[in-house]
Structure 1
Amino acid sequence: MDPTECRTKRRRKIAVADVDRISQLPDDLLILILSSLSTKEAFETSLIAKRFHNLWARVPVVNLDLDKFGPDDITLDNLEDCELQAKKFKNFGDRILNNRDKLINLDKLELTWAKWETDADPASAWLDTVAKQNLKFLYVHILSESDFQVPDSIFSCHSLEEMELNLGFDTIEPKSVDLPHLKKLTLHYIDIKYEVMQELSGLPALEEMVLFKCFLNTCDISSSTLKRLVLEGRHNDNETAITISTPRLLYLEVLSWDEGTIKLNKMESLVKACIHYYEDALFLTALSNASHLELMLSKSGVVEMKDVLKEETEFPNLKTLKIGEWCMTDQFDVVARFLFHARNLQKLTLLHRHFQLPSGHEKMEIKLELAGKVVNILNSNDKMKDADIIELVNCVSNTLSLLG
């Protein structure tokens, strides 16, 4: 091949390789790409090329994380670094939120300010700013040395559809709550006053609520729209009770509930309920319409459970039942009582949990399929004693025979 022709081809290849195809993409596509980056990374693209100048200001997603602006480990020796980190973060957050394109709605804000050694007050002003930008999704995690107040404007943001707050046991005390489009609310480590819970649970569009280790005090959760409710761990005194009235609820989950009591009103629409470690069995009648139940109670709840099952409480829709080790007494008497009241049951699972260090969490499980008077062992992980399995199968078989 002619040397001149070879050099020409090499130049063409180099020229093709030098073409900046990304910069040739339309703005909408570039903004979509920037949306997948952190806000800090999206902002830094403006320093790469003029083509990206101010494109970050049109991105509808903002995530601000203090950890991205300094050392992860703060000690007495580098508290000055911590203060510098907070200052850089404040300046960056101010610049981003004050210079966004005001014609572009902000769909989502993720804000993380999680260092006890710093003062997160600037974040309150940021939230007040975004509340005016048709915000739809808000996720806030604040841990700081001072009490943090979520501004009232957030609780009157009409565009908000989903909100998650984690405040390290600070209190939310809005003057009023007006969130007509909020569908999902998740609260972590928050002190919630009675009046606030009344307003939050009564929101007209609310479909899902998750409360994780919140101080609930005395409160009622009353909603005609709620479909999913999760309560995990409550820090409260034993003299107060929580009343739950949610007639349209489809899914209920109560986990690690150690203190206080829960009063459940009848849940006509309930499909599934998972109750773990809750000692009061008197709630059971409220769950009688469920198709799927998971009951991991303590053994102290067995007596109450038997009393409840002696009554005329029927479970006409119940198809699957998962119960824990608390039922392994009196020749599986509780299991037999359940079968009498749940004549359409198709699958029974006995789950026994215990802790064995250092291996951690072990689980012993047996699954039975009920078909007429026939009991089939679907699965056993061989951790249960053979005698227990035989006794359980005999108990179920005998009860099915009596049911005829």
Structure 2
Amino acid sequence: MKRHSTDVVLVPASGTNGIVLTMDESGLTQQPKKPKLNEERDAVGRNIKCLHNLPEEILRYILSLLPTKDAIRTSVLCKRWEYLWTSIPNLNFSGLEPDKRKQFMNFVERVLLLRDSSDIKTFTLSCDVLRDASHVSAWISAAVRRNVQQLCIYLYNFRKPFSLPHSLFTCMTLTELELAMPCILKLPPTICFTNLKTLNFSYVTFTKEHSTEKLFSGLPVLEELELQNCNWVNLKVVSISAPKLLSIRIVEDWENQNDENGCQVMISGVSLNYFRYCGEFCNEYHVHNSPSLVEASVLASWYNERKRQIAHRMYMLLTGFSGVKELTLVFCAVELLTYAVEVVELLPHMPIFNNLEYLALEEWSVNLDSVALLKILQNSPRLKTMEFSEGISLSSDYERNDRILDPVPPCFLSQLNCIKVYDYEGDEEELSAVKILLKNAVVLEELVISCSHHFAKDLEKQKKVHEQLLKLPRGSKHCELVFY
């Protein structure tokens, strides 16, 4: 009888290849199973073939997700990929390494020279200008000619006067512009950003009032504006007026200012709903004609020799927030405001916040008996939530504690339903401040007390303080105490 060969497969241990044993007339013979590496190579080959068969539009999208240098390197994969990179929509050039300066310059020149005529969506350039101002300007012009939509320019180390190409300031396709350039911004006679929605200036110096005015009035559809450490040199008044402006962020640092007197910056936006300021009030800001303002935040600090000026400028900014719904005062803002009303004598002119519903105080251990704070509470009839982000305290005069909220602010009698105190240390001053709040907030629904990191480790003290809080008299019968 003729024997038929029989295959027997031995199941391999983890990490080894299978072995096939064949039975024939001569006995058992061993044949290696197809190596796993070959299978993986076949799978990669099939994936590459599928990738190559994708439409060019999808391939270009994939390349657009890569850094520009990596996208260009794909040209060596096969003939079809050789020129795909010349039409990728996003270009990102970064050349801040001095020893690679020449390679960077050649790389940018070659990429822009070989690029096809398709539009550029995003163009990012970060480099030292040095003596190559004409080249840098030409690169930006090339992006503008390709109908760029998002332009991010970060330029440093200027060796001679530098001017951005005039075509940039009339680019009709530009929707986002970010410009960081620690030098004087030279503006052309004609400025009109018809489609610009986002504008960000960093370390830019404005020196001519007329052209600066034209710039900030030629933004018909602008929605977001950020000014970070900008200088207004020799300018007395500048107006920023954009009918569709939704948010504005301003950051200032006294060390980066060239004009000690500063400038009056008038901000007008009928659609404005968010305003944030952070700095030392190197300039004076006024917000007006902004009925839709919802949220405002002020982070203020000062130098002692400028305290009076800074306090006055902060007060002037605050007067533009009379319609705001959410107000956050950070770092030294409450202290500065107190100085303004006590020393600069601005208390009678404190604005009335008819729409204010949320007040956050984000500075260390705010004094509940601060004259400025008490005036804000008296002038905020609709306040619903008050938050002390970094603790609460009282002055050392405990005898007048019962008279701190006298008269009781209207919001304590009808609206204030939530008080939050974070970074609570469990000290006697804090307990007294909480006692005053609990006693006078007659419609309060929730009092949240959150322990500081240090206090949270002392469980015995926590228990004692919690018991003290529970015994405090409450003006509201429905107030719930949350302690953690």
Q: Deviations over 1:323-375 (max 9, x none)?
A: 3559945823333322221121111123459xxxxxxxxxxxxxxx9784877
Counterpart of 1:122 in structure 2 is: 135
Letter in structure 2 aligned against 1:257: E
SS of 1:249's equivalent in the other structure is coil
Q: How does 1:3-402 map to 2 (within 5 A)?
A: 13=39, 15-19=42-46, 20-21=48-49, 22-67=51-96, 72=97, 74=98, 82=99, 85-102=100-117, 104-113=118-127, 115=128, 119-146=132-159, 147-193=161-207, 194-202=209-217, 203-217=219-233, 218=235, 219-233=238-252, 235=257, 236-238=259-261, 240-277=263-300, 279=311, 280=313, 281-296=315-330, 297=333, 299-305=335-341, 310-311=348-349, 313-325=351-363, 328=366, 331-352=369-390, 372=414, 377-383=419-425, 385-391=427-433, 393-394=435-436, 397-398=439-440
* 1:302/1:326 contact within 8 Å kept: no
Letter in structure 2 aligned against 1:284: L
SS of 2:239's equivalent in the other structure is strand
Q: Deviations over 1:262-312 (max 9, x none)?
A: 233242110011111152313323211110011231634314347655448
CA distance in 1, matches of 2:132, 2:262: 36
* Alignment size in residue pairs: 372
Letter in structure 2 aligned against 1:263: H
Instruction: Point out where structure 1 has 5 or more consecutive residues left out of the alignment.
Output: 75-81, 354-368
CA distance in 1, matches of 2:416, 2:194: 52
Alpha carbons of 1:239 and 1:65: their partners in 2 closer, same or farther (altered >3 Å)? closer
* 1:285/1:313 contact within 8 Å kept: yes
Alpha carbons of 1:315 and 1:397: their partners in 2 closer, same or farther (altered >3 Å)? farther
Q: Could you tell me the TM-score, scaled by structure 1's length? A: 0.81
CA distance in 1, matches of 2:413, 2:114: 66
Q: Could you tell me the TM-score, scaled by structure 2's length? A: 0.68
1:167 Cα deviation (Å)? 0.9
Alpha carbons of 1:127 and 1:373: their partners in 2 closer, same or farther (altered >3 Å)? closer
CA distance in 1, matches of 2:88, 2:34: 41
- State which drifts further: 233-242 or 53-62: 233-242
- State which drifts further: 275-284 or 36-45: 275-284
Alpha carbons of 1:285 and 1:91: their partners in 2 closer, same or farther (altered >3 Å)? same
CA distance in 2, matches of 1:118, 1:393: 67
1:260 Cα deviation (Å)? 2.9
* 2:389/2:423 contact within 8 Å kept: no
Alpha carbons of 1:59 and 1:6: their partners in 2 closer, same or farther (altered >3 Å)? farther
CA distance in 2, matches of 1:390, 1:271: 33
* 2:264/2:283 contact within 8 Å kept: yes
Q: Deviations over 1:177-215 (max 9, x none)?
A: 121000010011111232333223221111111000011
* 1:120/1:142 contact within 8 Å kept: no
SS of 2:183's equivalent in the other structure is strand
* 1:266/1:287 contact within 8 Å kept: no
CA distance in 2, matches of 1:380, 1:327: 10
CA distance in 2, matches of 1:166, 1:374: 44
Alpha carbons of 1:318 and 1:389: their partners in 2 closer, same or farther (altered >3 Å)? farther
Alpha carbons of 1:389 and 1:269: their partners in 2 closer, same or farther (altered >3 Å)? farther
CA RMSD of aligned residues (A): 3.4
The structure having more radius of gyration, on CA atoms, is 2
Counterpart of 1:359 in structure 2 is: none
Percent of pairs with identical residues: 23
Q: Deviations over 1:4-63 (max 9, x none)?
A: 997896698465554433323321221111101111111111123222100001111111
CA distance in 2, matches of 1:390, 1:5: 88
Q: Deviations over 1:222-274 (max 9, x none)?
A: 22221111110052432532222223211111111332322332421100111
Alpha carbons of 1:305 and 1:350: their partners in 2 closer, same or farther (altered >3 Å)? farther
* 2:112/2:139 contact within 8 Å kept: yes
Alpha carbons of 1:381 and 1:312: their partners in 2 closer, same or farther (altered >3 Å)? closer
- State which drifts further: 124-133 or 326-335: 326-335
